[in-house]
Amino acid sequence: MVGKPFSECKIGFVGGGNMSYAVAMGIVKGGAVPPEQVLVSNRSEGKLKVFQTEGMRVTLDNIDVFTTCDIIFLGVKPYVFPVVMNELRKKAPKDDFSEKIFVSLMGGKTVSDMEQALQYHTPSRSQIVRTLPNTPCLCLTGTILMTRSSDVTDEDYNMIRSALSVCASCYDLPEENFGGASAIMGCSPAYFFIAIEALADGAVMHGVPRALAIELASRATLGAGKLALEAGKHTEELKDAVASPAGSTIRGLYALEKAGFRAALIDAVHATCTPLKK
């Protein structure tokens, strides 16, 4: 148990890439924690500059984050996570982190995967919150799916949920629905309603209840639009920040390209602009 409010906790991020930046900026901009209480580690120095500019503390040493922070967000790629765990075991073999809470941002890593990986350093209990966030957290319109290990108390879970709610709509979800629900987190209103409907059908196919599927798809659409308006970046750059190499998004984009998604949207706009012949 952390035993203090989120705003008084030391918050750590291991891995300072796109997703960590979006969540860190979200909780800072939303007022959940002052920037000087956030410590971010990354393998290379360059990526840390944007965090530093916002008043957050930075380090090249992941162990700094593990040893000094109360709540630790894990924002590395899933395949890098074992590397980080090995490093922890080598450099801090005697440390007991059972009182700390680990918040995973990593797609595809289950609570059980995390419990196993952290077992050595959390001998008495593994406090793990698994999330699936999206990049609109950056402009406080994100969507975050959440679940937890049985060792996380209601009080601590609700504290983290409230803190994340400053930048996202948070949904508690059974783990078996994470895959299907995550697929719908990411034109003219009528076209979007069809897109929302079709995305929701896909999630229902993967076991998500229909009403929840429609709501999640709608929130993802809202957040992406706000980010495109406010980030001051080309949509291609925003898209690239979502499509991690070897990740699930790039496979989805490939499927859409093959199906002529872009051309269909251009055709739809063109058709709308072309008057009917009487």
Ligand X SMILES: NC(=O)c1ccc[n+]([C@@H]2O[C@H](COP(=O)([O-])OP(=O)(O)OC[C@H]3O[C@@H](n4cnc5c(N)ncnc54)[C@H](OP(=O)(O)O)[C@@H]3O)[C@@H](O)[C@H]2O)c1
List 7, 98, 110, 244, residue binding ligand X (CB under 6 A): 244
Asked if 228 touches ligand X (CB under 6 A), the answer is no
Span interacting with ligand X, options 80-88, 94-102, 172-180, 228-236, rule CB under 6 A: 80-88
State in angstroms the smallest separation of the CB of 204 from ligand X.
21
Asked if 125 touches ligand X (CB under 6 A), the answer is no
Span interacting with ligand X, options 39-47, 116-124, 143-151, 217-225, rule CB under 6 A: 39-47
Hey, which residues between 95 and 124 contact ligand X (CB under 6 A)?
105-107
In the complex with ligand X, the residue whose CB is nearer, 157 or 178, is: 178
State in angstroms the smallest separation of the CB of 234 from ligand X.
17
Which residue number has the CB closest to ligand X?
Answer: 17
Asked if 50 touches ligand X (CB under 6 A), the answer is no
Span interacting with ligand X, options 69-77, 117-125, 191-199, 227-235, rule CB under 6 A: 69-77
List 39, 76, 114, 129, residue binding ligand X (CB under 6 A): 76
Asked if 135 touches ligand X (CB under 6 A), the answer is yes
Read off φ and ψ for residue 216, nearest 5 degrees.
-65, -45
Q: Output the CA angle 7-173-136, nearest 5 degrees.
A: 55
Round to whole Å and give the CA distance between 241 and 25: 15
Round to whole Å and give the CA distance between 147 and 145: 7
Asked if 181 touches ligand X (CB under 6 A), the answer is no
Question: Cβ contacts of residue 153 below 8 Å, gap of 6+?
Answer: 1
Round to whole Å and give the CA distance between 40 and 36: 11
List 16, 136, 142, 180, residue binding ligand X (CB under 6 A): 16
Span interacting with ligand X, options 94-102, 132-140, 147-155, 211-219, rule CB under 6 A: 132-140
Asked if 43 touches ligand X (CB under 6 A), the answer is yes
State in angstroms the smallest separation of the CB of 243 from ligand X.
8
Round to whole Å and give the CA distance between 196 and 55: 38
Asked if 133 touches ligand X (CB under 6 A), the answer is yes
Interaction site with ligand X (CB under 6 A): 14-19, 41-44, 47, 62, 75-78, 80, 83-84, 105-107, 132-135, 241-242, 244
